[in-house]
A and B are shown apart, each in its own frame.
Chain A
C-alpha cells in the first residue's frame, strides 16, 4: 500500500533562517506531488505541484521554492523565512493521471518567530 511521510511535525524557526521540509511517498511510482499551505481558520492553498523529477510549477508568488530531486521525494525550501511564512504545510500525492483523490501527509506546523 502507498504511504506518505512528511517531517518534521513541528518546527519553530527565527525570521531570516533557512527552511527545508521533506516529503516522501512509498508504494507508488511517478506520482504527482503537491505542497499546500493552510493558514489558521482558512482552507488550503496550493503552493507547488510536480508531475516529474525536476518539474515544478508554482501556483502563487512567494518566498518559498520547491524541488523534486527523486521520483518520490518533494522538498519545500526557503533561503530566508518571513513571519508570514508561518502556517501548516501539507504534502500530498495523486497518481500520474491526476487520479480520483489526493492523499495527504500529516503536515508540518511551522512557526516563524
Chain B
C-alpha cells in the first residue's frame, strides 16, 4: 500500500521568495515519485519525477525536488517565486505504474506581489 501526505493545504509566499512545498510518502517498494501542477479547471501537468538515480531532480519552470529515502520525503522547492507559479500542486507516488498513482490532497500556492 502507498500513501502521500502533503503538509500544508495552503502556502503563501511573496514574489521572489523561496517556495517550499512538503511531501512525505509511504511505499512498500522503491517508489516512483512525482510532482504535478494544476491550474484552475485544467488537467495536471508534470513538473518533475524521480524514478531511479540522482536524488536531486530538476523540473520545468525552475522547480526541483530531492528524494530523501531516510526521511521518506520528496519536497518541492523553487528559489524565487513568480506570480505565474500560483496554482495547486500535487505530490504522487506509484509502484512503477505511473498512471496508477496515489495522490496527496494538494497544496495551493499563493504568490503575493
A-B pairs under 8 A by CB, number: 72
Residues of A within 8 A of B68 (CB): none
The one of B4, B43, B51 that contacts A105, using a Cβ cutoff of 8 Å: B43
- Interface flags for A82-95 (1: CB within 8 Å of B; 0: not) read 00000010101110
The majority secondary structure among interface residues of chain A is: strand
The one of A32, A41, A43, A105 that contacts B99, using a Cβ cutoff of 8 Å: A32
Asked if residues A101 and B42 are in contact (CB atoms below 8 Å), the reply is: no
Asked if residues A94 and B9 are in contact (CB atoms below 8 Å), the reply is: no
Asked if residues A49 and B42 are in contact (CB atoms below 8 Å), the reply is: no
Q: A106 interface residue, CB < 8 Å from B?
A: yes
Residues of A within 8 A of B49 (CB): 100-101
The one of A33, A43, A46 that contacts B90, using a Cβ cutoff of 8 Å: A43
Residues of B within 8 A of A92 (CB): 44, 99
Asked if residues B104 and A104 are in contact (CB atoms below 8 Å), the reply is: no
Taken together as a complex, chains A and B put the C-alpha atoms of A38 and B4 apart, in Å, by: 16
For the complex formed, measure the closest distance between the CB of A12 and the CB atoms of chain B, giving whole angstroms.
14
Asked if residues B103 and A44 are in contact (CB atoms below 8 Å), the reply is: yes
- Interface flags for B37-74 (1: CB within 8 Å of A; 0: not) read 00001111110010100000000000000000000000
Taken together as a complex, chains A and B put the C-alpha atoms of A41 and B6 apart, in Å, by: 13
For the complex formed, measure the closest distance between the CB of A50 and the CB atoms of chain B, giving whole angstroms.
10
B residues engaging A (CB < 8 A)? 4, 9, 32, 34, 36, 41-46, 49, 51, 90, 92, 94, 96-106
Closest 9 pairs between A and B when the two form their complex, measured CB to CB: A98-B97, A94-B99, A104-B43, A43-B103, A102-B99, A44-B103, A104-B44, A43-B105, A99-B98
